[in-house]
Chain A
Amino acid sequence: MTTPLLEVQDLTIAFPTPGGGSAEVVSELGFALPPGGSLGIVGESGSGKSMTSLAVMGLLPKGARLAGRIRLAGEDIAGLPDRRMRAIRGDRIAMVFQDPLSSLNPYYAVGFQIEEAYRAHRPRATRREARRVAVEAMERVHIPDAARRAGHYPHQFSGGMRQRVMIAIALSTEPDLLIADEPTTALDVTVQAQILALLREIRRDTGTGLVLITHDLAVVSEMVDDVVVMRAGRCVEHAPVARLFSDPQHAYTRALLDAVPRLDDEVGELRTVRAAAPDTPREGER
């Protein structure tokens, strides 16, 4: 068996609470992703999906306590000093965030923001070379007229184009692993489909591994091999995507699947999942 590209074991993330206690937002989470594989992490808001991705990036907010192991190609990167983590971030693991407008710096041209990601890991690269890489990355994410558009600022792009820029930033260093945290949530439905198609195309062409974090089961079904269903910081079900949809094992997964509205649904009312993620999992609730 080959070494997994990403292996998370017993990951626990906790924040101190006023009064000296602590709140666990992720508890004993575990999953593995083979090189070039793809994994979806689904769950409601507050289920700990984004915290998991930030932990992998080493970007947890100040004060967060982390336990467990995060292995990137066999090397434990959990709690690595920031200086060493910096060499991995943006180079071997790249991340695409939810809201592309606020995730791009309004003060710099998009070309520069892509160049910057490339040059952070290629210190010997010249500006000219970085510019060429940036324009190529923009062409790869199908931004028309890339060479000229590189000089434009984020506010001059549409939402979908901005997310393409974010993806171009992530791709510029040819990472082994791409983490996409709700990459389509802030976009129109038609644009969502285009961005998902782009992510699939990139995976096919580059063979990069993908961790896709979303609350949208429909997105997961088209995009990944395996799915982790999270609730209140814990994994309630971990299964290949086809089996998850055909034969969900856990009651919560069934409830989630049931809550997805269908066009052919006879029932006029939308079904909801009861009890949203509590702050901390109650005793016996797993």
Chain B
Amino acid sequence: MARYLLARLSGVVLILVLVCLFTFTVFFVLSPDPAVQICGKNCNPELIERIRGNLGLDEPLFTQFTTFLGGLFAGRAYGTGEGAVECAAPCLGYSFQSSQPVWEMITERLPVTVTVAVGAAVLWLLAGVVGGLVGALRQGTWWDRGAMVIALSGLSIPNYVFALVLQYVLVVELEWLPFPQAVTLADDPALWFQSYLMPWIVLAFAYASVYARLTRANVIDTLEENFVRTARAKGLPRGQVIRRHALRPALTPVATIFGMDFAGLLGGALITEKVFGINGVGKMTADAIGRNDQPVIMGVTLLAAAFVVVGNVVVDLVYTALDPRVRLTVA
């Protein structure tokens, strides 16, 4: 177990360094000169040079990269002498736009994004698994068709369209919900719930569709398994046959993709957060892309990659608990 974890975690670190290298190349080499952007209106060549010096952009590329990596793990200083700015580890640099440390910007907004992701996950798991199960057990009936038509629309309607329609209907026309507001659970639980409800629904709709179809297909396949016939031959009640012998094998693969989807969402739901004006990592990223705020984009990319890679390891560990045939081996 310890050996396995060690092997996997070194793999994680390797992948993250590669992601760093890739994003670093894309954002700092292929994008316009950041010094020009920071420089602003009263710009002159001298000022640009000074900014370049402060950001370390006059160094060779490889040195810039190692400095960036070093900053992540040990912190770094921008500039030299009197005007030097100390950036503590994990240092992702400063936003070109607000001059705030990127790490701080992310950690400030992460709780909002986690709230969006967790709420949506609860909804889509419930809706997806229940919908898929109903479809499988009532195969060919109107229940089944209804569930699958809804699932298909969830897959085919772009979520910004759904978000806008939902907002228009629930907030503007019916006035059932207020415009989403930035409140915490502690401040005003009711308003908090109402503010997050629409983003949860919008995100969950798309995911639930995939989960419903997957669950339905898996349950139908599993019900055909010989061991389900054995369970029935034992004289077990139908509910037990389904719960114990069909649902568990059918949902194990669902658990795997759930881990990946959820980890992916922690990197921010760009469109949903942007549409509802939720100040999470996703909206921050969308804004940063619009303004070419490279350190922020890079920081978020790294964060999202880290979530997915670590999520993958967690999924594999959980899988060994779910399926007794799976054993951890170091490849």
A-side residues, CB < 8 A to B, are: 57, 59, 82, 86-91, 94-95, 97, 99, 102-109, 113, 116-117, 120-121, 153, 155, 166, 169
The smallest C-beta distance from B331 to any residue of chain A, in angstroms, reads: 20
B274 CB-CB contact with A under 8 Å: no
Check if A105 sits within 8 Å of B234, measured CB to CB: no
The smallest C-beta distance from B325 to any residue of chain A, in angstroms, reads: 5
10 A-B interface contacts by CB (under 8 A): A59-B232, A82-B238, A86-B235, A86-B237, A90-B233, A94-B233, A102-B227, A107-B323, A109-B324, A117-B234
Size band of the B side of the interface? 20 to 34
Q: State in angstroms the CA–CA spacing of A90 and B241 once bound together.
A: 13
Q: State in angstroms the CA–CA spacing of A88 and B230 once bound together.
A: 14
B-side residues, CB < 8 A to A, are: 225-227, 229-238, 240, 244-245, 248-249, 252, 323-325
- Which residues of chain A come closer than 8 Å to B248, judged between CB atoms? 107
- Which residues of chain B come closer than 8 Å to A108, judged between CB atoms? 244
Closest 4 CB pairs of A and B: A90-B235, A90-B234, A89-B235, A102-B226
Check if A121 sits within 8 Å of B235, measured CB to CB: yes
Check if B249 sits within 8 Å of A107, measured CB to CB: yes
Check if A105 sits within 8 Å of B230, measured CB to CB: yes
Check if B232 sits within 8 Å of A97, measured CB to CB: no
- Which residues of chain A come closer than 8 Å to B231, judged between CB atoms? 105, 116
CB nearest to A104 among chain B residues: B227
Check if A103 sits within 8 Å of B325, measured CB to CB: no
The smallest C-beta distance from A170 to any residue of chain B, in angstroms, reads: 9
The smallest C-beta distance from B263 to any residue of chain A, in angstroms, reads: 25
The smallest C-beta distance from A111 to any residue of chain B, in angstroms, reads: 13
Q: Which applies to chain B's interface (DSSP): helix, strand, loop or mixed? A: helix
The smallest C-beta distance from A154 to any residue of chain B, in angstroms, reads: 9
Q: State in angstroms the CA–CA spacing of A166 and B252 once bound together.
A: 25
CB nearest to B235 among chain A residues: A90
Which of these, B229, B234, B252, contacts A120 with CB under 8 Å?
Answer: B234
Which of these, A95, A105, A169, contacts B245 with CB under 8 Å?
Answer: A105
- Which residues of chain A come closer than 8 Å to B244, judged between CB atoms? 108, 116
Residue of B234, B240, B244 with highest tally of chain A CB at under 10 A: B234
Q: A107-B323, A153-B325 are in contact. Are A116 and B229 (CB under 8 A)?
A: no
- Which residues of chain A come closer than 8 Å to B252, judged between CB atoms? 107
Q: State in angstroms the CA–CA spacing of A207 and B248 once bound together.
A: 37
The smallest C-beta distance from A244 to any residue of chain B, in angstroms, reads: 29
The smallest C-beta distance from B108 to any residue of chain A, in angstroms, reads: 43
Check if A59 sits within 8 Å of B234, measured CB to CB: no
CB nearest to B237 among chain A residues: A86
The smallest C-beta distance from A12 to any residue of chain B, in angstroms, reads: 22
- Which residues of chain B come closer than 8 Å to A155, judged between CB atoms? 324-325
Check if B235 sits within 8 Å of A88, measured CB to CB: yes
Q: A82-B238, A106-B324, A107-B249 are in contact. Are A89 and B230 (CB under 8 A)?
A: no
The smallest C-beta distance from B187 to any residue of chain A, in angstroms, reads: 45
Check if B234 sits within 8 Å of A97, measured CB to CB: no
Q: State in angstroms the CA–CA spacing of A105 and B249 once bound together.
A: 9
Q: State in angstroms the CA–CA spacing of A121 and B235 once bound together.
A: 8
The smallest C-beta distance from A90 to any residue of chain B, in angstroms, reads: 3
- Which residues of chain B come closer than 8 Å to A102, judged between CB atoms? 225-227
Q: State in angstroms the CA–CA spacing of A18 and B118 once bound together.
A: 48
Q: State in angstroms the CA–CA spacing of A161 and B145 once bound together.
A: 44
Residue of B225, B230, B248 with highest tally of chain A CB at under 10 A: B230
Which of these, A91, A107, A153, A169, contacts B230 with CB under 8 Å?
Answer: A169
Q: State in angstroms the CA–CA spacing of A102 and B225 once bound together.
A: 7
Q: A91-B235, A103-B230, A169-B234 are in contact. List 19 more A-B contacts (CB 8 A).
A: A57-B233, A59-B229, A82-B238, A86-B235, A86-B237, A90-B235, A97-B226, A97-B230, A103-B229, A104-B227, A104-B230, A105-B230, A106-B323, A106-B324, A107-B323, A107-B324, A117-B234, A153-B325, A155-B324
The smallest C-beta distance from A186 to any residue of chain B, in angstroms, reads: 11
- Which residues of chain A come closer than 8 Å to B237, judged between CB atoms? 86, 120
The smallest C-beta distance from A117 to any residue of chain B, in angstroms, reads: 4
